[in-house]
Amino acid sequence: MSEITLHNVTKQFDTTTAVDDVSLTIDDGEIMGIVGPSGCGKTTTLRLVAGFETATDGKIEYDNEDVTHVPPENRNVGLVFQSYALFNNMSVLENVTFGPRMHGVDKDERQRRATRLLDLLDISELADRDPQTLSGGQQQRVGLARALAIEPRLLLLDEPMTGLDAELKQTLRKELGELLADLDVTTLYVTHDQEQAMSMCDRIAVMNDGIIEQVGTPSEIYESPANEFVATFIGTSNLLSASVGDGVVDFGFAEIATDSLPDYDHVELAVRPDDFSIGDGPISATVTNRFYLGGEIQIVAEAADGTELTVEVDRSHHSVSKGDEIALDVDTSNLHVVTQ
Amino acid sequence: MSTEFDGESLSSRFGRQAVTLVLIATVLFLASPVILTFVSSFATDWTGVLPKGFVTVQNWQAVIFGNDIGANVALGSSLFYSVGLALGGVVINLIVGVPIAYAVARYDFWGRDWINIFAILPLAPGIILGIAFLRTYPDLSTSGIALVIGYSLLKAPYMVMAVQSSFESMDLQQLEESSRSLGASWFRTFLTIIVPNARTGIIAGSIISWTLAAAEFNFSYIVYSRGTPPLSLFLFKNITNSSFLNAAAAVSVFFLLIAGVTIALQIIGHQRSGSTV
């Protein structure tokens, strides 16, 4: 285990800045997620930490030791890719013992580690199998066992569940989360899937255009998004322009009393869809669309001035349909200022 | 009632059979000379439509031991000489072609497209390359070195194309990075992970380039001057100076050798080339 620190790290490819002055600390034993849209620089950040890219500027430290220019094979970092990248010329067992062998671990210890990890990941019966014959979920477990067999200082997971079906993804998410918590290994988890990151990570860094927009626990990121990008990227948010004065929030289409917001001439407020309640309230709107999502119902409604509101309510409101006039309320303590 | 689907039903009823028939007819047409040549090598006479006078091994004896045939050398020495020369060409292609195929498939660098074109296009015909060799390296023509180098140059595209296609079917970057993150150096990764994972392409490329090199006539005809002749020249002399049945036996030995080498390499290719635990 290690504490990993990025100090003002920048990575430039020709004229493109993929990572721009990023500073981040991953605490010892912490699971840190990096989420962001495609091309935001999250994979480049992972590759910089792993040593496959060298920072144009800045410094990367493992336990205060500068590793910025240390080649990847000397960093002792476990890596699991989206494609798993298993070695098809070797059996599952040989894949798992490959890393320890490269680190000069003796044969008995290699076997012991491999047996323990294959047991832990419940794939002991696959030891002699050819990786090509395994299912996606089994390959993911082998990839993980192989990465953990070197007893890495840091485990890097690069979209390891992309491409798996939803049910398997959910099962593996639970198992992987428990495993990482048990192993207490410092982990950097890069994904575009915010739901995975929210459920598995201790903290999340939200990246956009090469910079980190916000770092925080999943609840901090969701409940108190630092800006418009985080508010809209993590979950769904209604971004509403308003003014606040004399204990009243004026949205233009409705006024709601508040005792939790200071006065603003103009402010952008983020409201999560599930922070609305339906049935009674000062906001009048017309339902323009309705989506049945299983656990809840998502309603898209248009306020009196044409502002579009996305609302999520429980299944008891299944009778709401397109064209209905509805009344909405919102608890102003759940409103978050994203731009003043 | 409706005729809209009549055409489709006709096609679905007879389409597959028609394709199968055409395929069988074509394969029979192409394979017949090979089969008849092999069969006739055990015959005493082939003056009519079909060979007759079975079964004799005289033709094979004559070819293998070198008695009573037009060429004054036995097939054995010529065959093994050609096998060795072609093998030399394959070894050079493996040493040069595999890294070129890897570089082109894995990296994006200045001149990549040109290297790719030169590596996979058989630019010079054997006869032209042979003349160029004689002009440039007149002393080399008396040894087998010129033949080995020439074979490797002429057949390199087949090796590069087969290996490159194997490399392109893998996620080379992630394989390489996985291995390196596990502590293997780049060179060790290349030898123990990248190359074994491309073994199907390497074996296919080796079979094709070896087979074509062993039977290369044009370049051999221009460059060869003395000593044991390469197989293609040996066969040519047999065919021109000896009976067709002797030549048939000589060709059959070559067929069997190619079949044997191909099967052996296929078996190797299907074995897991893994390392120790």
| A243, A265 contact by CB (below 8 A) | yes
**Which residue in B177, B181, B274 is closest to A89 by CB distance?**
B274
Determine the Cα–Cα distance for residues B259 and A220; give it in Å rounded to an integer: 69
Comparing C-alpha atoms, which of A331, A329, A327, A328 is closest to residue A259?
A: A331
Residue B55 is part of which domain span? 6-59
**Which residue in A75, A97, A102 is closest to B184 by CB distance?**
A102
The predicted-structure confidence for A61-118, as pLDDT tens digits, reads as follows 999 999 999 999 999 999 998 888 999 999 999 999 999 999 999 999 999 999 999 9
Spatial CB neighbours of A225, under 8 Å, sequence gap ≥ 6: A214, A231, A234, A237, A270, A336, A338
**Pair (B67, B45) in one structural domain:** no
Q: Which residues pair with B189 in a beta bridge?
A: none
- B 243-272 → A contacts, CB under 8 A: 272
Q: What is the DSSP letter of B141?
A: G
The predicted-structure confidence for A170-185, as pLDDT tens digits, reads as follows 888 888 888 888 888 8
Residue B33 lies in a domain: yes
**Pair (B75, B53) in one structural domain:** no
Please state, for a pLDDT cut of 90, what percent of chain A lies above it.
69
Chain B touched by A11 (CB under 8 Å): no
Provide, as residue numbers in chain B, all residues whose Cβ is less than 8 Å from the Cβ of A73: 180-185
A127-137 exposure pattern, b = at least 16 Cβ within 10 A, e = fewer: beeebeebeeb
- Distance from the Cα of residue A124 to its chain's centroid: 30
The predicted-structure confidence for B81-97, as pLDDT tens digits, reads as follows 888 888 898 999 899 88
Q: Give residue A125's pLDDT.
A: 95
**Pair (B64, B27) in one structural domain:** no
**Pair (B174, B125) in one structural domain:** yes
Residue B1 lies in a domain: no
**Pair (B33, B162) in one structural domain:** no
Determine the Cα–Cα distance for residues B170 and B176; give it in Å rounded to an integer: 11
- Residues A280, A283, A284, A286, CA torsion sign: negative
Interface A:B, Cβ pairs < 8 A: 84
Determine the Cα–Cα distance for residues B91 and B156; give it in Å rounded to an integer: 11
B180–A73: do the CB atoms touch at under 8 Å?
yes
Provide, as residue numbers in chain B, all residues whose Cβ is less than 8 Å from the Cβ of A89: 193, 196-197, 199, 272-274
Q: Residue B69 — very low, low, confident or very high, per pLDDT cuts 50/70/90?
A: very low
A102–B197: do the CB atoms touch at under 8 Å?
no
Domain A4-232 classification at class level: alpha beta
Comparing C-alpha atoms, which of B220, B212, B211, B217 is closest to residue B257?
A: B211
Chain A touched by B179 (CB under 8 Å): yes
Provide, as residue numbers in chain B, all residues whose Cβ is less than 8 Å from the Cβ of A142: none
> How near does any CA of chain A get to the CA of B94, in Å?
19
| B70, B236 contact by CB (below 8 A) | no
Chain A touched by B177 (CB under 8 Å): yes
Chain A touched by B169 (CB under 8 Å): no
Residue B223 lies in a domain: yes
| Reported pTM | 0.78
**Pair (B30, B154) in one structural domain:** no
Question: Picking from A13-22, A230-239, A255-264, B41-50, which range would have the lowest pLDDT averaged per residue?
Answer: B41-50
B196-208 exposure pattern, b = at least 16 Cβ within 10 A, e = fewer: bbbbbbbbbbbbb
Residue count of chain A: 340
**Which residue in B171, B273, B275 is closest to A85 by CB distance?**
B171
**Which residue in B180, B181, B274 is closest to A78 by CB distance?**
B181
Domain A236-339: give its CATH code: 2.40.50.140
Tokens of B185: 């150096």
> How near does any CA of chain B get to the CA of A98, in Å?
7
Spatial CB neighbours of A205, under 8 Å, sequence gap ≥ 6: A24, A32, A33, A34, A35, A212, A214, A215
The predicted-structure confidence for A130-183, as pLDDT tens digits, reads as follows 999 998 889 989 999 999 999 999 999 998 887 778 888 888 888 888 888 888
Chain A touched by B188 (CB under 8 Å): yes
Site of tokens 């959910």 = A170
| B247, B239 contact by CB (below 8 A) | yes
Q: Provide the number of structural domains found in chain B.
A: 2
CA distances from A8 to A154, A156, A312, B135, B150 (A): 20, 20, 40, 62, 56
Q: Taking 70 as the threshold, does the pLDDT of residue A233 lie above it?
A: yes
What ipTM is given for this predicted complex? 0.80
User: In this structure, what CATH number is given to the domain that contains residue B153?
Assistant: 1.10.3720.10
**Pair (B43, B69) in one structural domain:** no
Using CA coordinates, name the residue in chain A closest to B269: A89
**Pair (B81, B16) in one structural domain:** no
Q: Where in chain A is the domain with CATH 2.40.50.140?
A: 236-339
